[in-house]
Structure 1
Amino acid sequence: MNAKVTSPTSAAGGWGSAKAVGTSLAKEHVLLHGSALLAHQNKPDGYMCVSCSWAKPAHPHPFEFCENGAKATAWDITKKTVTPDFFAKHTCTELLEWSDYDLEKIGRLTAPMRWNAQTDKYEEVQWQDAFADIGARLRPLAPDSVVFYTSGRASLETSYMFALFARLFGTNNLPDSSNMCHESTSVGLPKTIGVPVGTVTLDDFEHTDCFFFFGHNTGTNAPRMLHQLQDARDKRDVPIVTFNPLREPGLVAFRNPQSPTEMLTGKKTQISTQYHQVKLGGDTAALAGLCKYLIEEDDRAQAEGAPAVLDHAFIAEHTHGFESFAAAMRIASWDEIERHAGLTRAALESAGQIYAQAEAAMVLYGMGLTQHRNGVQNVQMITNLLLLKGNIGKPGAGVCPIRGHSNVQGQRTVGITEKPAQVPADKLKSLYHFDSPTKKGLNTVEACEGILDGSVQAFIGLGGNFARATPDHSRMEPAWSTLGLTVSVATKLNRSHLLHGQVSYLLPCLSRIEIDRQDGGEQAVSVEDSTGCFHGSKGRSEPTSDLLLSEPAIVAGLAKATVGDRGTVDWDGWVADYALVRDAIEATYPKIFKDFNKRMWNPGGFHRPLGASERKWETETGKANFVVPETYDEDPDMPEHDGSVIRLMTTRGDSQFNTTVYSLDDRFRGIKGTRKVIMLNADDMLRLGLQERDVVTASTVAHDGYTRQVKGLEVRAFDIPAGCAWSYYPECNPLIPLWHYAKESKVPAAKSVPIKLHKQM
């Protein structure tokens, strides 16, 4: 294979980013058209990025897009198309041999298709015939045998309609992509501060005294945030402390592509003032070390009559459980903390000093915290740290889970959830005259379990690449053929569409970037960003094909064919005018969406009300809660004292968003032309008898009777803590057992998988 590995990029942005954008537009044959469109990306009167969900400012930069956002736009508006003629030439079995990258890069789907079991090919079908047949096949099924899955891209309007369709059908089986990433946040935060989302907005970036980052690759997954971080560093010298196993360029340094001075002179901004390479699975221990330092320093200050380190007034008025937590931290062993964190006491105390000196601090984190067996505990340790100094509910302070996909948070806000307690059933009954189902639905892991045991008989996918995004491929992929029906709403072909059920439909939809013309005129949609702000989005590119339908139109077509007149929903009226859907969303969630249609075009969006931001705690105790950690070992499945076992984390490359791979090159990590690599600590390579360019098979250490392995991985040395390794997602998802998930949230624990490596001869 001989993967080419060069020196990783030392800073995010710069000429490398500018070149990558131009190359991407040229590859999709949209250099001029795409360049013009990008001027409208993330603007108050434009379209919201289909990639990440980072906040959209009220006063945007001239080019309010990042490298990956531009690649996502180019990917969507490509001139390359996948017509029925393409499917006439290729069987699904043949196409399954193609790589994920090769499947998606062939272009946009152009017509509705149905799989022909006799020829093993997709064939064109009329929309109404597709809807009628899908409805006829769904109606006889038990409602809880059908899964309605949503990826993170669908708009608020589409998501609301899809959730209503599922509940009219009779099920809460509404898993979505958040089940695979930030569900640990949605479970952990309500118990500690009473809200399921972050508490900061862009305004807080201008008032904070320090940032703490945990488990996030900002330069790849939320690059536009680097503008706020650069301003904080250059203008106010705000310290940024990062805890991450890999030294990601975006959190090391940033060269602003929109600054002529920086582009011409090579000047760059140092982002992190401290960078701590925590061991995989060591975040709880690292956070415990910070908390222990603060509490002991406060004890010392009180004994000496010095100013307090902790905010005792806030703790007394607003929190519950402090004494138990403080006692646990006081008796915690520094030796144990250091061993689990992979960091020294001195390093943790150095970071703690920065936090102690700040009047207002923000903690930001990504899936490096949530995708662990104790991911929920990680999230609660974040709030423990913030509560010690009253860093919730004041300017410049708060918790900021950095959500991934463009509307994954918003979908949950308008009803995409398997949890009936989060559904306003009384509102739905008064609006649509039906009783919402009360049985808990399936989340992503449970949907996979249902596919394996046969209790799930049909799968409706609103976007995404479910079969590749989920774990345990060697078990899951064969199970898809047992499903009676699979329906995929998509813009491009991916592997999930080829792993079809006994009857399978592929329904192509408009992209958010494309002009959506309905009977009521050109339509707009809306999304929620990572900071809880809602924005309007209006497509500006001509549709790829005249046969494409919008996502709302497809959901309405499926609903009318399946649930008929059940409930009192004006599906046709909603499709003609999406403003009516927004009125319905407002009627269902009046506190969140007051004056929705009037406010959706506010520059910077409008913010959802959050009690925690006002120090109103909607928890069982009526206060913010400290939580004592059960263990400092985030991954109890990891075998102890076995030097042959290493911890693997799966990660995305810089030319990738979720399962979509825009290029086989990863400039930030110095990888070119391949994703079949595994990166190890040099000492581990020596200890395991491995050399550069050895080809290995990675096998999961699990004693459940199943063999999980990925072959053909080329070994390379990388700056990663000893005992740890990384490789790419989703290529290494086969190594993650389905049962290896976060306790309470069931997020697949992809950031610490116990594996062994075997050299291929």
Structure 2
Amino acid sequence: MDTGDGKGAATPREYSGSTGGWGSLEGIARVALRERATPGAIETLSRQNKPGGYMCTSCAWAKPPNPHAFEFCENGAKATIWDLTTARCRSEFFARHTVTELRDMGDYELEMQGRLTQPLRYDAGTDRYLPVSWDTAFTAIGQKLRELDPKSVTFYASGKAALEPSYLYALFARMYGHNNLPDSSNMCHETTSVGLKKVTGSPVGTCTFEDLSKCDAIFYFGQNPGTNSPRILHPLKDAVERGCKIIVFNPLKEKGLIEFTDPQNPLQMTVGTPTKMNHMYLQVRPGGDIAAIMGLCKRVLERETAAKAAGAAPVLDHGFIDQHTHGIDDFLAKLDATGWDEIEADSGLSRADLEAAADIYCAAERVIGIYGMGLTQHVHGGQTIGMLVNLLLLRGNIGREGAGCNPIRGHSNVQGQRTVGITEKPELAPNDKYRELFGFEPPMEEGHTTVTFLEALLTGENKGFIGLGGNLAMAVPEHQRVHKAWAEMELTVHIATKLNTTHCMPGKSAWILPCLVRAEEDMQASGPQSVSMEDSFSHIYGSQGRRTPAGELLKSELAIVAGLAKATLDPNPQARWDEWTADYGLVRDLIARTWPEQFHDMNTRMWQAGGFYRGNAAHDRIWKTESGKAEFTTPTVLNACGVERTADRFHLVTLRSNDQFNTTIYGHSDRLRGLSGSRMIVLVSPAEMQRLGLVEGQRVTLVGDAGDDEVREVGGLTVTPYDLPDGTLAGYFPELNPLVPLWYHDEMSKTPAAKGVPVKIRA
């Protein structure tokens, strides 16, 4: 009991229920009632993530060939209901409010106004958005883009846009003259694309969905499935029930990896007990995964040495290592030189626990390593991925059935966008095919990542911005400086379904272009259209929307991209924007011609049950690395945070709540953590509260402590006790993003390091 004088032991907040169960159904119902979803929402949910149906706009988890009766999760259902609200944000709303007033509302209140229904132009004289025609918008935007230097304009893509508009968006950017094509991958998993490619030759995970049914152990790092990808809980539950052991490494004890009640199992929902999901749960310090995995590997080598001395079977897969890997000697030398005291200090875990976890690894024939942004969003996140691959390589756990490296991606098509050309790196773009198919010379200068876009914005070099979805100004670090500079751009264009805060930072010429959601019928000249997307397992699926559009003036993302391109670019007989808009199958033919080995017969194969697999070289033990083999890497640090912790410096982990998907806030319940109400809270361990003399409910300010001269603060935060490792704080994204320095990012990928932000507490 907290005594109120800072000397008592506060009780950590906790959710008494399990993941899934009745709580999940209640969460869906609450959002459905508040949004007053269209009657067709139920029919859409019945088709969601099923063969021939509608593919969820939430996470990028697999759509199995043999789906459950309800193949959607709590947050997937919320996303669909959120899209299919009956609320409308019409011109009358904008007539009542200035943009300055709108910006003060906050994202939740803005999105609650409902779907946008007509194109809007910002009028600086009245500080309001005014309705305009599509022709007026396209003509004015095209004229402004022609006036600007293409290299001063950035085309950003949220991860929701399907393959077809994404392909044309990348083509439009390069025909316009730049590679400034950051997407939401830059904000979350770009470290995978860079770090994993370096060591396996593949920028994506090596597993297939079927591998989850055949593994003996899963080592699970830095991901919260209960909130961010709940449909993974079904195969995890099945794996546990057949004897697979799940070892979790995460600073917070997330309920989804503790226990799960299957909402589709009537027996478990009524008289049954939840499934215990983990065999061990190790609360590693933020960034301490490098040290933790170093400890695992050190124990594996100790077991190998003992087996050799006893004349027993080897622990390492020597045949695999000799044939398929490079660089193990340097790594083994680093292991030998690293002491257990260092490992325990940097990981926050005991030698005994790490040895016990490693013994499970050694006993398992087939192991999968699963990870999320807890690994990628650090200054040395790329090194952490390299360490996880080191662990898997020791026993040949990449490129065989039931084993592999499996990152969990966020947005539904964020992986697919990169596949079809949305990248800032010219060497990853299909430039030869652009020359062949469209007869132009693509730009070869490296473009903007999200971080370099923001750097150019702050110096005044970036003059224009087009956003294909998203709420980027809220998702990025360094809010105070970035938000001030945002409105100085010459042009801002947002392709959107609902209003958000980024729209309320208009440039000198500013436009909002409203689009269909994926669940709505997309009727074009050749008839109703379908789109496609890629999941985390490199499978491609078709999706068909059937709902009546929220407004007669709405256009599809593809039609808007094509309209902008046509209004901006000089005529090119090989760029048939009108024909592509009329028939999306023609765009899929272009994708198939651009990558024939992966996308041949795309128009037919995308409707297969379970989609079609575009292939993965590392899955087949073909290593497209510099050495031609999988690479062992030697870490230079044991903690991935870029600034060391001290007695008064904490590492802050930013979180998504149970009522949230990225910057979209569905409500103010974080049920699975036992939290609700205000999002302006900071989670602190009871031991740290007692050490610092803090009490539950006290208001504090977090102050950036990155060692530079910038002042970064977020005040008005309520101290809330929570079970966390020493030196760790936690709080919500994007409210705490102002504390993340722009320069504080992964060294390889420039992904913002939002899972280990150096801060101090000011009472």
- Specify if TM > 0.5: yes
- Give the AA of the match of 2:209: L
Alignment RMSD: 1.3
1:704 aligns with 2:708: yes
Which residue is equivalent to 2:719? 715
| Contact 1:54/1:403, CA 8 A, preserved across alignment | yes
Aligned counterparts of 1:433 and 1:517: Cα–Cα separation in 2: 30
Q: CA deviation at 1:303?
A: 2.1
1:355 aligns with 2:356: no
Q: CA deviation at 1:33?
A: 3.0
Question: Where does 1:731-746 land on structure 2 (aligned, <5 Å)?
Answer: 731-746=735-750
Aligned counterparts of 1:330 and 1:117: Cα–Cα separation in 2: 65
- Give the AA of the match of 1:178: S
Which residue is equivalent to 2:629? 623
From 84, 87, 109, the equivalent of 2:91 is: 84
Which residue is equivalent to 1:139? 146
- Give the AA of the match of 1:357: A
1:24 aligns with 2:31: yes
| Contact 1:148/1:173, CA 8 A, preserved across alignment | yes
Which residue is equivalent to 1:248? 254
For residue 697 of structure 2, give the secondary structure of its aligned residue in structure 1: coil
List per-residue Cα deviations over 1:356-385 (Å, max 9, x = no partner).
011110000000000000000111111111
List per-residue Cα deviations over 1:704-743 (Å, max 9, x = no partner).
3321111110001100101101000000000000000000
From 232, 235, 238, the equivalent of 1:225 is: 232
Aligned counterparts of 2:595 and 2:42: Cα–Cα separation in 1: 38
Which residue is equivalent to 1:98? 105
Which residue is equivalent to 2:69? 62
For residue 186 of structure 1, give the secondary structure of its aligned residue in structure 2: helix
List per-residue Cα deviations over 1:85-139 (Å, max 9, x = no partner).
1000001101111122111111110100000000000000000110000000010
Aligned counterparts of 1:289 and 1:540: Cα–Cα separation in 2: 52
Aligned counterparts of 1:446 and 1:419: Cα–Cα separation in 2: 13
- Give the AA of the match of 2:431: A
Q: CA deviation at 1:702?
A: 3.1
What TM-score do the two structures reach when normalised by structure 1? 0.98
1:153 aligns with 2:160: yes
| Contact 1:368/1:751, CA 8 A, preserved across alignment | yes
Q: 1:10 to 1:374 in 2, by over 3 A?
A: farther
| Contact 1:9/1:667, CA 8 A, preserved across alignment | no
Question: Where does 1:680-695 land on structure 2 (aligned, <5 Å)?
Answer: 680-695=684-699
Which residue is equivalent to 1:260? 266
Deviates more, 1:326-335 or 1:165-174: 326-335
Q: CA deviation at 1:36?
A: 2.2
| Contact 1:168/1:566, CA 8 A, preserved across alignment | no
Aligned counterparts of 1:745 and 1:19: Cα–Cα separation in 2: 39
Which residue is equivalent to 1:609? 615
From 723, 727, 732, the equivalent of 1:728 is: 732
Aligned counterparts of 2:673 and 2:383: Cα–Cα separation in 1: 30
1:372 aligns with 2:378: yes
Q: CA deviation at 1:202?
A: 1.3
Which residue is equivalent to 2:439? 433
Aligned counterparts of 1:7 and 1:323: Cα–Cα separation in 2: 45
Q: CA deviation at 1:692?
A: 0.5
Q: CA deviation at 1:75?
A: 0.4
Which residue is equivalent to 1:200? 207
Which residue is equivalent to 2:171? 164
Which residue is equivalent to 1:306? 312
Aligned counterparts of 1:524 and 1:130: Cα–Cα separation in 2: 26
| Contact 1:168/1:436, CA 8 A, preserved across alignment | yes
Aligned counterparts of 1:206 and 1:702: Cα–Cα separation in 2: 44
Which residue is equivalent to 1:676? 680
1:752 aligns with 2:759: no
Aligned counterparts of 2:301 and 2:17: Cα–Cα separation in 1: 36
Which residue is equivalent to 2:136? 129
Q: CA deviation at 1:31?
A: 7.0
- Give the AA of the match of 1:8: Y
| Contact 2:138/2:567, CA 8 A, preserved across alignment | yes
Aligned counterparts of 1:710 and 1:591: Cα–Cα separation in 2: 50
Which residue is equivalent to 2:7? none
Note the residue ranges of structure 2 that are not aligned, 5 or more in a row: 5-10
List per-residue Cα deviations over 1:472-493 (Å, max 9, x = no partner).
0011001011100000000000
Which residue is equivalent to 2:81? 74
Which residue is equivalent to 1:384? 390
Which residue is equivalent to 1:118? 125
What TM-score do the two structures reach when normalised by structure 2? 0.98
Q: CA deviation at 1:649?
A: 0.7
Which residue is equivalent to 1:486? 492
From 648, 655, 659, the equivalent of 1:651 is: 655
Aligned counterparts of 1:23 and 1:321: Cα–Cα separation in 2: 54
List per-residue Cα deviations over 1:149-188 (Å, max 9, x = no partner).
0000000001000000000000000000000111110011
Which residue is equivalent to 1:318? 324
| Contact 2:220/2:370, CA 8 A, preserved across alignment | yes
| Contact 2:151/2:178, CA 8 A, preserved across alignment | yes
Aligned counterparts of 1:730 and 1:30: Cα–Cα separation in 2: 26
Q: CA deviation at 1:566?
A: 4.2
Identity %: 51
Aligned counterparts of 1:7 and 1:686: Cα–Cα separation in 2: 19
For residue 754 of structure 1, give the secondary structure of its aligned residue in structure 2: strand
Aligned counterparts of 2:548 and 2:19: Cα–Cα separation in 1: 33
